[in-house]
């Protein structure tokens, strides 16, 4: 609630400038309104991407500048805009108003609240379109972003400032992994840790799905440090097009203050479809699969804004997790190949793995993190360095084993170890693990401690072992959470705890 004195002072200041100055406005008139794209004459001084206002206060943005006309996409419902309506230039480029109050809120790409709560306090106007930070302002990715998901943190580690693509067919658990990564950032909002703020951008999703995501984030307490930008399936294509840029603009507000931010774009396939729709209505030349010629630039300029700033420039970072939906696991389609070439790695979800019970259904063979070990703590590196190779060797051997031929002891042992490794990497949804518990789980598999445990009992063993360690050896977990390579002494203590637990565990 504003102070009445402040309001009066502001009005008095405005009235002082109530003088005889001539005001010059540049306006246009609507000539055509087709599918949310409005063609207008006039507006000769309009800039590309400039915000314009129609006579009924509807907003639009300029997307095409032709010799005699200007094409504008409406940012709200535009069915009521008629031929002859006046359009005014605002002199502003598209921006979103961001303040600390935006955390925990659900907004649309224009910054309007969608959660029915109070209006967000006025803050800074962040431009939706911005040139990404240059090479000199950046530094290499060197800090891990822990997702709490074992196969990712062990084999495809993500660093703060990295772009890691999450790609796979529909219904393979891509969104689940992104939400788990957001939930796991709760651990960074403690004393002594650098917090990670999160932005979840829902592009073209069903409103029921978005509501479920919001509910889960509220339930886990993750909503307190997360902003949700919504452009649902029923929104105009213009809002779907702007949503990811609004998300990164919000992230840049926090990044400029030296904070680390995680942005999830769910999903960029629908973003590309929306941009294709707008481009076709604007009569821009269509290329491959009817996408416009600048479809690569659409995503490259978005993802380039994910950055790890150096100390002189605030030391903040934006980590991007774009999601792409493939059709029939086709990684070689147009949009997937575009985004794969932009990002610093991909996490590939396989439908076959999903339906065979391996969840998260991550294919370690096709997944990679180009940042790699630089984004991993010493402790995780020490325990998981050989894991990917072991799984690849197991997959090769498993193919032979299917023929039913007799195998030597060494090969059988390797097969059994591989099965247990894959089993231990399974993880239920919404249960991200701390680094200490991840280390213990992976150590169980790689050290051979599970070789004598039946396959069906592995996950139960893991769960109960975690409970046992939290009860009796919390200090070991706390030491492992630091991320430093465990000493020989600590490894001996862990081995001792495993033996102790095995005596209690009932198969």
Partner 1 sequence: MDKKLLRKLVLASYTKGNLDEDKVAKIVKYLKKSELREYIKALKLFEMQNTVLVSVTTDKTKDLKKHFEKIFFPKKVYVEYDKSLLAGIKIADFDNIYELNLKNKLENLIKHISE
User: Which residues lie near partner 1 (CB under 8 A)?
Assistant: 10-11, 14-15, 18, 20-29, 41-45, 67-68
Least gap, CB of 42 to partner 1 (angstroms): 3
Alpha-carbon span 70 to 62, nearest angstrom: 7
Least gap, CB of 238 to partner 1 (angstroms): 23
Given the complex with partner 1, which of 21 and 311 has the nearer CB atom? 21
Alpha-carbon span 503 to 403, nearest angstrom: 37
Least gap, CB of 195 to partner 1 (angstroms): 33
Given the complex with partner 1, which of 69 and 382 has the nearer CB atom? 69
Alpha-carbon span 76 to 112, nearest angstrom: 12
Given the complex with partner 1, which of 50 and 169 has the nearer CB atom? 50
Least gap, CB of 44 to partner 1 (angstroms): 5
Alpha-carbon span 458 to 441, nearest angstrom: 10
* Structural contact between residues 396 and 423, judged by C-beta atoms closer than 8 angstroms: no
* Structural contact between residues 25 and 89, judged by C-beta atoms closer than 8 angstroms: yes
Whether 160 sits among the annotated catalytic residues: the reply is no
Omega cis (within 30) before 210: no
Given the complex with partner 1, which of 15 and 136 has the nearer CB atom? 15
Given the complex with partner 1, which of 15 and 118 has the nearer CB atom? 15
Farthest CA pair distance, the chain: 98
Q: Which pairing describes strands 368-369 and 70-74: parallel, antiparallel, or unpaired?
A: unpaired
CA-to-CA separations, 179 to 147, 216, 226, 369, 481, in angstroms, rounded: 9, 9, 11, 19, 21
Least gap, CB of 281 to partner 1 (angstroms): 20
Nearest Cα neighbor of 108 from 100, 121, 120 is: 120
Active site residue: 138, 284, 301, 370, which one?
Answer: 370
Angle at 404 between CA 398 and CA 408, to 5 degrees: 75
Alpha-carbon span 247 to 258, nearest angstrom: 17
Residues forming the active site: 370
């Amino acid at each position: 609630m504003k102070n009445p004195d402040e309001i009066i002072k502001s009005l008095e200041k405005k009235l002082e400038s109530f003088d005889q100055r001539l005001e010059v406005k540049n306006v246009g008139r609507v000539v055509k309104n087709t599918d949310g794209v409005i063609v207008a004459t006039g507006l000769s001084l309009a800039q590309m991407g400039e915000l314009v206002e129609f006579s009924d206060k509807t907003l639009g943005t300029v997307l095409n500048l032709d010799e005699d006309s200007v094409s504008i996409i409406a940012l709200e419902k535009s069915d009521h805009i008629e031929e002859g309506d006046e359009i005014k230039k605002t002199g502003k480029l598209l921006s979103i108003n961001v303040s600390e109050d935006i955390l925990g809120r659900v907004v649309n790409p224009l910054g309007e609240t969608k959660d029915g709560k109070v209006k967000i306090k006025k803050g800074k106007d962040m431009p939706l379109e911005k040139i990404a930070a240059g090479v000199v302002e950046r530094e290499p990715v060197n800090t891990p972003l822990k997702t709490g998901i074992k196969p990712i943190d062990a084999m495809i580690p993500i660093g703060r400032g990295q772009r890691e693509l999450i790609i796979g067919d529909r219904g393979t658990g891509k969104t689940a992994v992104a939400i788990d990564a957001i939930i796991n950032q709760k651990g960074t909002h403690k004393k002594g840790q650098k917090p990670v703020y999160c932005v979840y951008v829902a592009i073209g999703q069903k409103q029921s799905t978005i509501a479920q995501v919001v509910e889960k984030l509220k339930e886990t307490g993750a909503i307190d440090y997360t902003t949700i930008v919504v452009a649902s399936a029923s929104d105009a294509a213009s809002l779907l097009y702007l949503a990811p840029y609004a998300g990164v603009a919000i992230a840049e507000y926090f990044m400029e203050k030296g904070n680390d931010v995680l942005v999830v774009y769910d999903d960029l396939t629908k973003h590309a479809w929306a941009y294709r729709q707008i481009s076709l209505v604007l009569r821009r030349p269509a290329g491959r699969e009817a996408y416009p010629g600048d479809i690569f630039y659409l995503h490259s300029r978005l993802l380039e804004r994910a950055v790890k700033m150096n100390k002189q420039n605030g030391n903040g970072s934006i980590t991007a997790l774009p999601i792409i939906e493939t059709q029939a696991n086709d990684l070689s389609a147009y949009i997937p190949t575009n985004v794969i070439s932009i990002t610093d790695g991909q996490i590939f979800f396989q439908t076959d793995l999903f339906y065979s019970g391996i969840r998260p259904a991550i294919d370690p063979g096709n997944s990679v993190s180009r940042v790699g070990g630089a984004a991993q703590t010493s402790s995780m590196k020490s325990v998981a360095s050989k894991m990917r190779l072991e799984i690849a060797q197991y997959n090769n051997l498993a193919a032979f084993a299917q023929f039913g031929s007799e195998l030597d002891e060494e090969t059988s042992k390797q097969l059994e170890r591989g099965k247990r490794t894959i089993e231990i990497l399974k993880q239920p949804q919404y249960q991200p693990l701390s680094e200490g518990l991840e280390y213990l789980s992976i150590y169980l598999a790689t050290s051979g401690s599970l070789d004598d445990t039946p396959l069906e009992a592995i996950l139960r063993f893991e769960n109960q072992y975690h409970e046992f360690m939290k009860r009796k050896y919390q200090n070991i977990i706390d030491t492992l959470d630091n991320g430093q390579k465990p000493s020989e002494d600590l490894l001996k203590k862990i081995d001792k705890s495993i033996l102790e637990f095995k005596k209690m565990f009932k198969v």
